[in-house]
Structure 1
Amino acid sequence: MITSSNPATGAELARYTPQSPQEVDGILDVAAAAQAAWRRRDTCDRTPVLQEMARILREGRDTYAALITAEMGKPISEARAEIEKSATTCEYYAEHAPYGLGAALWTSDLDRARRLARVLDAGAVFVNGMVASDPRLPFGGIKRSGYGREPGAEGIREFVNTKTVWIGPAV
């Protein structure tokens, strides 16, 4: 059995039956399939789901915060703030999902940054630097942020969604 205990008091909260490696693989396969389906879903279709997630988080704030406090030992005020931050994040992505002009990543792991830059839905990705246009580089958005690129040679290819990846020094 796996026991979950309150880190502050040591009191047992719950017991769970461990899962076999095959069960874990099955769960991970289901999660991967769900993520792939979410990724294929039109961004406008994601909006109501994210808004509902924000509503559910706020509605259950005290219950979720008590669970975070009991299982992690986080002060209740910080746990409530974490729930609010999560709800606000859902709302942010609900509002901005239809757009894809630029994205910025901040990391010291440049290999990971390169992998993430390939999958971000943005017309330009800047690593360890703010999103900015440069007359030497193509710049433009995807989704509802527009079609085509300007300036440079890419401007000729107006209907191509080329991605710019800029990588600054590791931080």
Structure 2
Amino acid sequence: DGFKIAGGTTSREIKISGGNVELQGSGSAEISIPISSGSDEFVLKTYTQTLTNKRITPRVSTEESSATPTINTDNVDAHSITALATNITSMTTNLSGTPTNFQRLLIRIKDNGTARAITWGASFEAKGVALPTTTVISKVLTVGFIYDTVTSKWGCVASAQEA
């Protein structure tokens, strides 16, 4: 239960067990990780930590146009449709993933110069904000959702139309 660091004439193994980190093997007894200045800590996968001065870059997927847009919420936080040339008959049909409670999803839609209808389908619901049903010619529509494990649906909490 560890991983091996090998290079040159040394072979090292780091064993992590019960919250302890042990360095085993021959050669120097230290591992050096260069940082620009000062000291730093590792961010651990399951340990509760507060992060400061960190940016999380959203995972974004894009498609030009589709009657049934493809969105995998395991892989994206935002989806952009850039030149919608058909009515959206279902946002639910090609929606996949296993969302977590309070997970966020932003969907941005711009048509191709013709107003287009939007049918959201069974995976979406109004949660204080109505689901938009059409685009406005050549204007960007941005819709924000939060996943609700009680209803197993993406709840619409924001909708903004470009002026």
TM over 0.5: no
- Which structure has more relative contact order (CA 8 Å, sep 6+)? It is 1
TM-score normalised by the shorter chain: which range applies?
A: under 0.3
- With normalisation by structure 1, the TM-score equals 0.25
Which protein has the larger Cα radius of gyration, Structure 1 or Structure 2?
2
- With normalisation by structure 2, the TM-score equals 0.25
Hey, which of these two has a bigger chunk of strand by percent? 2
